Amino acid sequence: IMGAGDAGAMIAREMRNNAHVGLEPVGFVDDDLGKHDVRIHNVPVLGSRQDIPALVREYKVQQVIIAMPSAPGKVVREVVQMCEQAGVQARIIPGIPELLDGRVSLQQVREVEIADLLRREPVQTDIGAVRALIRGRRVLVTGGGGSIGSELCRQIWRCGPAELILLGHGENSIFDIHNELRGSEPGMVISPESGAWSAQSPVLTPIIADVRFAERVRTVFEETRPEIVFHAAAHKHVPLMEMNPAEAITNNVLGTRNVVEAALAVDVEHFVMISTDKAVNPTSIMGASKRVAELIVHRAAQQSGKAYVAVRFGNVLGSRGSVIHTFRRQIAQGGPVTVTDPEMKRFFMTIPEAVQLVMQASVLGA
């Protein structure tokens, strides 16, 4: 186990208590010299990360678990490289943005992903203020089954809303996130009778609807009466929208107008639209459509005086519009890897980072 801190200790304890998983903790490695030669849950700290190759040979290690949720990507890359040189499998527990509840378990151990290798120092967000805003409120997420929308739903669910409304036009993706959240533990909610915190489950409402149909959107808002709206529904593939400009306009522009007008009609207090850096001096249909959508939200904020804001993303790792999927497929096929220009720079963030930015914007907008 790489990392003899709290996360590593939890992993070692679970291994000890669950022999059926077939994992035997040989020892810890940690760069903190003060932890060397001590035992944690009767598992010794054997050395530092530089000792991994020798320890793999000496103890016939088959797997190294990187248990450092706050470690930067540079450290993760170095450990993975050592494991590759030693011929041993490296696995990892998620980073801080994915561990909002602070719990670590063996079930979370997974393969090392690109996002782990690019991991930055955790961005400090005011989670307390976000929870205070969402807790006990009715929250609606458009595009709730998408890569960004579904992660938004997960993090909102942990904050204990009174009701979470999952709105999307793809039945399979809404079905998946609805089932996932039904099986997870929600946050605490306010009892309307006593005003005290209780562990009763918030209401989870899946709705199949297309934001392009104004009457349908208005009906949904009138029936559910959301207090906070996160608007994540959009078309975002740049080349595809160049070939289908009408779809980009009807979905990104008219769809946003329909959602904003429905929100104003039922007096939604907080509205956050997810936009893109491609809306800055747009050179594509997709970017232009998102810029117009931003202006619709901006006008609503000016006219109503309410907290209606837009958040621009860069390239989000793992999202359905990310170039990383294309790069991985090209590498798997043996290349070539196509880039816009040899000097092109891309600025990446992970899905959990992006979603925390969105949720923070809901507080800043207040």
CB atoms within 10 A of CB 99: 17
Query: Could you say which residues of the chain have pLDDT below 70?
Result: 95-105, 120-124, 185-201, 318, 320-322, 365-366
Same domain, yes or no: 167 and 253: yes
Q: Is residue 1 part of a domain?
A: no
Query: Is-catalytic flag, 35?
Result: no
Task: Give me the number of domains the chain comprises.
Answer: 2
Q: Are 109 and 22 in contact (CB under 8 A)?
A: no
pLDDT for res 124: 62
Residue from 35, 74, 236, 278 carrying the catalytic annotation = 278
Last residue of a domain, one of 70, 99, 117: 117
| Burial profile 217-250: b = 16 or more Cβ within 10 angstroms, e = fewer | bbebbeebebbbbbbbbbbbebeebeebeeebbb
Choose among 44, 121, 36: nearest CA to 76: 121
Q: Are 32 and 4 in contact (CB under 8 A)?
A: yes
- Segments forming the whole domain that contains residue 202: 127-364
pLDDT for res 182: 87
pLDDT for res 18: 84
pLDDT for res 348: 77
Same domain, yes or no: 72 and 149: no
Which CATH number covers residue 267? 3.40.50.720
pLDDT for res 321: 63
Listing from the earlier edge strand, what are the strands of the sheet with 43-47? 28-29, 43-47, 39-40
Distances (CA, A) of 307 to 228, 268, 272, 353: 10, 9, 8, 22
